[in-house]
Amino acid sequence: MSEIVVLEDEAAVARELAERFVTAARETLAERPSFAVALTGGSTPGPAYRMLAAAPYRERVEWSRVRFFFGDERCVPPNDPDSNYRLAHDTMLGPLEIPPEHIFRLHGEDDPSEAAAAYARTLREQLGEPLAFDLLLLGMGPDGHTASLFPGYQLYKENAALVRPTIAPSYMKVAHRLTLTPHVLNAARRVVLATAGAGKAEILAQVLEGPYDPTRYPVQIVRPEHGAMTWIVDRAAAERLSSAVRV
Ligand code: 6PG
């Protein structure tokens, strides 16, 4: 079961995302030595990352105990403007001076199959068993994709692979991608998916209220096995939802 939080605008979505991050970090660190978070790319999370790196959020997290991972990456070098790592670095990791040994990025500059295999090894080494993020951040594209799982992705042909190279449809800017598989996404202890704007209204209604068809709407495959999933959306994105869901 997922929780759907509808807020006024994109700024409120960013604030809520930052709040959820802080709460998840504090609750986890009260019980365990480190907090493992998988970051997302796209345009929605940047403002939240910037908030986290500034007062008052900055002081509320013990950053030295946070380990950063990525849910997906574009196959570009880390300093490329399209790199998800670069977005996170410029908005949050750099300003917070997170040491490189606490940042585990997908190597978009390497051969995609090798990069996927290398990241799977990194996840096994760093997370151990159960291989579960404490917090997984996601977004949703206007076609219903999440991470880099695009419509038509052979979701049901997955074996136990943790990370895969994928090809984005031609309407996306960077075709070659690396993505965590549903297997890993659904093991997360908490999932927070933020999306905003009128351009997401139609797809959000289809995804949340339409039939279950994850080959068409890959984000529907995200159903954490043991954790909770929260959608944080703004009023514009929620416009087509029935009032029952909109409360
Ligand atoms: C990426 C993402 C992707 C993103 C969605 C939503 O690398 O592009 O991880 O899944 O979250 O495309 O993007 P917006 O935040 O721009 O709506």
Q: Whose CA is nearest to atom 2 of ligand 1?
A: 41
Q: Which pLDDT does position 244 carry in this prediction?
A: 61
How many residues are recorded in the chain?
247
CA gap 194, 24 in Å, rounded: 15
> 141 CA to middle of ligand 1, Å?
6
The pTM assigned to this predicted structure is 0.96
Q: Which pLDDT does position 2 carry in this prediction?
A: 87
pLDDT tens digits, one per residue of 122-154: 999 999 999 999 999 999 999 999 999 999 877
Query: In the chain, what is the greatest distance between 2 CA atoms, to the nearest angstrom?
Result: 47
Q: Looking at residues 66-89, what average pLDDT do you find?
A: 98
Q: Which pLDDT does position 156 carry in this prediction?
A: 54
pLDDT tens digits, one per residue of 37-54: 999 999 999 999 999 999
CA distance to 78, 91, 111, 168, per residue, from 86 (Å): 6, 8, 19, 20
> 138 CA to middle of ligand 1, Å?
8
Q: Which are the contacts of 59, defined by CB distance < 8 A and separation ≥ 6? A: none
pLDDT tens digits, one per residue of 161-191: 999 999 999 889 899 999 999 999 999 999 9
Ligand 1 atom closest to the Cα of residue 146 is: 10
> 42 CA to middle of ligand 1, Å?
3
Percentage of residues of the chain with pLDDT beyond 90: 90
pLDDT of 238 over the 90 cut: yes
Q: Which pLDDT does position 118 carry in this prediction?
A: 98
pLDDT tens digits, one per residue of 90-99: 999 999 999 9
For residue 247, what pLDDT band results from cuts at 50, 70 and 90? very low
Pocket of ligand 1 (CB under 6 A): 40-44, 72, 84, 139-141, 145-147, 195
For residue 245, what pLDDT band results from cuts at 50, 70 and 90? low
> 146 CA to middle of ligand 1, Å?
7
First to last CA, the chain: 15
